[in-house]
Structure 1
Amino acid sequence: MKVALIYNKDISGVINTFGMQNKEFYNEKTVKRVAESLEKAGHNVAILDGNKQIIERLENFMPRVNEGEQMGMIFNMAYGIQGESRYTHIPSMLEMLGLPYVGSSPSGHALALDKVLTKIIWKNNNLPTPDFWVFNNHEEDMSTVKFPVIVKPKMESVSFGLKVVYNQEDLREAVHYIVTEFDQQALVEQFIRGREFCVGLIGNSPVESFPVLEIDLEGDPDAIQTVDDKKHKPKKKVCPAHISPELAEKMQQISIDAFNALNLRDFARVDIRLDEDENIYLLEINSMASLGESGSYPTAAKVAGYNFEGLVNKMLDVASVRYFTNALPQGDNNKSKSKTSQTSRMRTFIKTRQQRTEKLLKQMVDTDTYVRNVEGVNYCSGLISSELSQMGFTQEIYPQLEVGNILYFSNSFNQEVDYLIVQPIDTRIKLAKHENFQEHEQYLEGTGIWENKGGIAILISALQALKFSRSLKKLKIGILLVTDSSIDGRYSKSIIQQKAEIAQSVISLSGSSKSGGLILSRSGSALYRLDTKMLKKDNPEHVSNTAMNFNKTLAAITDISYNDSNNIIAPFDIEFKSNIFKRYAYGTAGISVRYNSPEVLDEIEMKIKKILSTQKRSKIYQMKIEGGLKRPALSASEKSTQLFNQICELAKKIDVRITEEHRWSSADICHIKKDLPIIDGLGPVGEYLPSDNERIIRHSITERALLLALLLKN
């Protein structure tokens, strides 16, 4: 399952800084630990910052669910950035977006955060809670208050602003501090002398209670646990608490009743005070119980039999049951530590090396590999060769003078290979328009990053993961780096065909579309050049006749593909120059043809010849057309479809979305004549930008690397 873990890091990611600012944040180590726990259970996890960009981040990671697909989940660890009821902000947005999430609803969080409403609801449900008073300012009548009392903000957690007072003067001072510091009402609550406990809850129907945990106040009935205690010197926790089984059971049942009274979901922690006569008092309930290492919630969960990994996955599981009615396959209720699957270990390995993968990608993107820049192309090949040689690949060089050297790598020379990977590294972009690597939170940009270089980074990452899992030596893989793709494989065509003869399957790592498209078929390409020139200069009318004829002919050729969804004819680089006074006229235009079968190309060429033949031989102007096939079309064969279905099964297991795609552009794999399973588009998800630049979705590198590793291993 895809799981987006949302937490707060960049609190500047708002339109305006306005209202009460959040003081409650998760340690990034805890966030990472939660993510790793989910990954070990086989989930596809992305860590996302919950500020104003969160919708775009979620759209990139969790695109719209199509029929029959598994819907992902949000593991919400975001406390909010600013304003009131901050716990409700992300859940409210997720409700609007239609994304299921772990934890309580916005209304549940709002009630739990509002300590006054919480206490009113509890009292209405005959649940024990200390008497209380609410003040808007320090000048109000406080004569009815019975001391000692504890003063706290009405809508804060983690013991912010907590203070015990014993007289009216100190009370007014404490209320003034709360109102001015937190910009909210002050809750004044009867202080219960005695012991402090908490009860962790998980689940919905039924709600499971962890063993009662006691906060060790070292025998001082007047002691409390402050925010400084929690952050800097956490008090000792005793679990199970040293109380009678009957009292523990009563605390647990009251906690469950308190949870249900507020209509909370999935998990929470209830804080309790026990007076010296063993009367139970509900203090508050935390609808986002902390998962911090020293926190009461994971401590009690461990005593209940949930290690940290099991607890985190149980939280996801109970939310999944609530949304989808059937639990995720986690095994033995998540309480026992299960052996991490090899797939999960490979995913973790790939993610931990992502920074190194992106560093290699940056080096490749920053290298100008314009097809005629032999030095740049060969340098880029050298970077790739260095990585492959460390994994036991040896290389065969096909020297080239006009373009970079074509390289073939294999870990099993002179043998058949299971997979031949054909990957170009050259680009059409000259140095003047080359865009260097640019890093954004969700995207990576740069020349060639989507079309080919991102695919190479994915390939290296996948092979490293296979080496890590000790699977690489068992595989036979060939890798052909093509350096003339921009000129239709002029030099590599025969080499591609030769290497395909010893392959069981062929794959290429061109960039994938945003729908996750894998390419089973590509259009073939043909290029033509139409030229015309005025011959007779004795009459200025010949200038207009030459121009008119040129435009009519070009329009007629283009019109061949009108209303034809399977073929495209498009003119380009059109140039026509004329002068009535000097009496000259000449023109030229390129004609690009994209077609999907050889028969169609033959038919198109026949129609072009017929159009030109209808032109009466004229003494006024001359017209000619030349050109022809550049690359044949690649059809979706039965074998390719079988391989695609195999990849679909692998993708489903690791929650990577893929679809079938026909791409109108041609590519090097189109030169392969042998009937083989051929799949393209296994590179990163991305797109061309309106300029000549390209960009990819950052997390797709790890997703596609794992998918490729599993495919090669399968």
Structure 2
Amino acid sequence: MMYSQEQVREVIDPKAFGKVAVLLGGCSAEREVSLASGKRIFEALQSSGVDCCLVDPVEGLVSQLVEEKPDRVFIALHGPRGEDGTVQGLLDQMDIPYAGSDIMSSALAMDKYRSKLLWQAVGLPTPDFMLIEHADNLDCCVEILPAFVKPSLEGSSVGVARVDREQDLLPAWEQASGYGGSVLVEQFIDGPEFTVTILNGQPLPAIRIESAESFYDYEAKYVSGNTQYHLPCGLTDSKEQELQALALTAFETLGCSGWGRVDFMQDERGRFWLLEVNTVPGMTDTSLVPMAAKSVGLSFEALVLEILKSSLSPAHQKDGGIKGSKELVQAESEAI
């Protein structure tokens, strides 16, 4: 089901949100992208008449939240400590509603290995994979080459390498393991890449990604400027509906809610293969979620308000307000 024009035109009262804190920056490898996303979200909220403020966790997250006393939070942190349930858990503890997925679903979506295990368990298609914790075990990966070697707990293709030859496995593993945690080796699917945005339970039109690089890596996403995005995506109506249904099922299987983006590859037989779910996708000038939203008539300002609406759902309503205790401030984790 697509967004109808009636849904697109729905009026949202900015005052219903109260004061909104936009979390941006952080200390992950995606800090610069997060800063760009967060500032653009902040400007959209301001232009819509929402009372809002910027909060960068590196400057002391708990103390800033206690001082600002927001009624809800828009999380624009990318990567570990932003998308992995860490911040979501803190906000739950402080009784501050936030837009998007909860602790469990954020953690599952960030963990590519466990996402794929769940999808396999319910019969959803995802490329063959192996979790490699030690370089001594790389020999068993030869059978699924060519493959992508990637950190299991990173986003935006950080630390990802395509490997076609056995002798390139070790360097790729060493690069990926440098980001901490285990390394996922995932079979390469030769074909076009697609992404589908999920917005408040509805899949938006699919986008086909055509990268000038060897694959859609961090450089292709944010630096090169040579990547082409096709919207309409070129699929038949029935194939696009199939892709959208699969995206929504994969998203909900992980327990995700509010908004997010689901990435796929399509093979030569036309079959779709799940890669990952992003629970806090980029919201920069070149990001895919705003692109998909625009195609159904949602301006960037309207998109931001639609996303923020998920913080008004019963699951996100808290009773106690901010716990501004000295103990919380003193216990603020350096990991955030």
TM-score (norm 1): 0.40
Aligned to 1:267: 259
1:308 and 2:308 aligned = no
Query: Is the CA contact (8 Å cut-off) linking 2:78 and 2:155 kept in structure 1?
Result: no
Q: Are the structure 2 counterparts of residues 316 and 8 from structure 1 closer, same or farther at C-alpha, using a change threshold of 3 Å?
A: same
Structure 2: how far apart are the matches of 1:277 and 1:224?
A: 20
Structure 2: how far apart are the matches of 1:175 and 1:224?
A: 17
Q: Are the structure 2 counterparts of residues 30 and 119 from structure 1 closer, same or farther at C-alpha, using a change threshold of 3 Å?
A: closer
1:119 and 2:111 aligned = no
Helix, strand or coil for the counterpart of 2:22?
Answer: strand
Q: 1:213 aligns with which of 207, 217, 225?
A: 207
Q: 1:232 aligns with which of 223, 230, 233?
A: 223
Q: Which has the larger radius of gyration?
A: 1
Deviations 1:135-180 (A, max 9, x none): 112222524532211111111110012211122211122112222x
**AA of the residue aligned to 1:43:** V
Query: Is the CA contact (8 Å cut-off) linking 2:149 and 2:163 kept in structure 1?
Result: yes
Q: Are the structure 2 counterparts of residues 155 and 85 from structure 1 closer, same or farther at C-alpha, using a change threshold of 3 Å?
A: farther
Question: How does 1:298-447 map onto structure 2 within 5 Å?
Answer: 298-323=290-315
Deviations 1:363-408 (A, max 9, x none): xxxxxxxxxxxxxxxxxxxxxxxxxxxxxxxxxxxxxxxxxxxxxx
Aligned to 1:108: 105
Q: 2:44 aligns with which of 15, 23, 37?
A: 37
Structure 1: how far apart are the matches of 2:114 and 2:124?
A: 13
Deviations 1:637-672 (A, max 9, x none): xxxxxxxxxxxxxxxxxxxxxxxxxxxxxxxxxxxx
Identity of aligned residues (%): 27
In the TM superposition, residue 109 of structure 1 has moved relative to its aligned partner by: 1.2
Q: 1:174 aligns with which of 166, 172, 175?
A: 172
Gaps of at least 5 residues in structure 2 are 1-17, 318-336
TM-score (norm 2): 0.83
Q: Are the structure 2 counterparts of residues 35 and 24 from structure 1 closer, same or farther at C-alpha, using a change threshold of 3 Å?
A: closer
Query: Is the CA contact (8 Å cut-off) linking 1:175 and 1:186 kept in structure 2?
Result: yes
Aligned to 2:25: 8
Structure 1: how far apart are the matches of 2:113 and 2:243?
A: 21
In the TM superposition, residue 35 of structure 1 has moved relative to its aligned partner by: 1.5
In the TM superposition, residue 314 of structure 1 has moved relative to its aligned partner by: 0.5
Q: Are the structure 2 counterparts of residues 188 and 119 from structure 1 closer, same or farther at C-alpha, using a change threshold of 3 Å?
A: same
Q: 2:58 aligns with which of 51, 59, 65?
A: 51
Structure 2: how far apart are the matches of 1:141 and 1:37?
A: 47
Aligned to 1:133: 130
Q: 2:89 aligns with which of 87, 92, 97?
A: 92
Q: 2:144 aligns with which of 131, 143, 146?
A: 146
Aligned to 2:234: 242
Helix, strand or coil for the counterpart of 1:87?
Answer: coil
**AA of the residue aligned to 2:106:** H
Q: Are the structure 2 counterparts of residues 85 and 139 from structure 1 closer, same or farther at C-alpha, using a change threshold of 3 Å?
A: farther
Q: 1:161 aligns with which of 155, 159, 162?
A: 159
Count matched residues. Answer: 298
- Greater relative CO (CA pairs within 8 A, separation 6+): 2
Aligned to 1:637: none
In the TM superposition, residue 37 of structure 1 has moved relative to its aligned partner by: 1.6
Deviations 1:308-346 (A, max 9, x none): 001001101133134479xxxxxxxxxxxxxxxxxxxxx
In the TM superposition, residue 102 of structure 1 has moved relative to its aligned partner by: 0.9
Query: Is the CA contact (8 Å cut-off) linking 2:78 and 2:281 kept in structure 1?
Result: no
Helix, strand or coil for the counterpart of 1:188?
Answer: strand
Question: How does 1:184-195 map onto structure 2 within 5 Å?
Answer: 184-195=181-192
Structure 2: how far apart are the matches of 1:249 and 1:57?
A: 44
Q: Are the structure 2 counterparts of residues 172 and 27 from structure 1 closer, same or farther at C-alpha, using a change threshold of 3 Å?
A: closer
Q: Are the structure 2 counterparts of residues 288 and 243 from structure 1 closer, same or farther at C-alpha, using a change threshold of 3 Å?
A: same
- Computed over aligned residues only, the root mean square deviation of the Cα atoms, in angstroms, reads 2.2
**AA of the residue aligned to 2:132:** F
Structure 1: how far apart are the matches of 2:140 and 2:55?
A: 50
Helix, strand or coil for the counterpart of 1:46?
Answer: strand
Question: How does 1:544-555 map onto structure 2 within 5 Å?
Answer: none
Structure 2: how far apart are the matches of 1:281 and 1:182?
A: 25
Helix, strand or coil for the counterpart of 1:214?
Answer: strand
Query: Is the CA contact (8 Å cut-off) linking 2:264 and 2:273 kept in structure 1?
Result: yes
Aligned to 2:325: none
Higher strand share: 1
Helix, strand or coil for the counterpart of 1:5?
Answer: strand
Structure 2: how far apart are the matches of 1:23 and 1:86?
A: 11
**AA of the residue aligned to 2:77:** A
Deviations 1:286-316 (A, max 9, x none): 1111111101111111112211001001101
**AA of the residue aligned to 2:163:** V
Structure 1: how far apart are the matches of 2:161 and 2:36?
A: 30
Aligned to 1:199: 196
Q: Are the structure 2 counterparts of residues 322 and 248 from structure 1 closer, same or farther at C-alpha, using a change threshold of 3 Å?
A: farther
In the TM superposition, residue 41 of structure 1 has moved relative to its aligned partner by: 2.7
Structure 2: how far apart are the matches of 1:264 and 1:25?
A: 25
Structure 2: how far apart are the matches of 1:27 and 1:110?
A: 18
**AA of the residue aligned to 1:254:** L
In the TM superposition, residue 230 of structure 1 has moved relative to its aligned partner by: 1.3
**AA of the residue aligned to 1:95:** D
In the TM superposition, residue 55 of structure 1 has moved relative to its aligned partner by: 2.1
Structure 1: how far apart are the matches of 2:186 and 2:34?
A: 31
Helix, strand or coil for the counterpart of 1:102?
Answer: coil
1:256 and 2:253 aligned = no
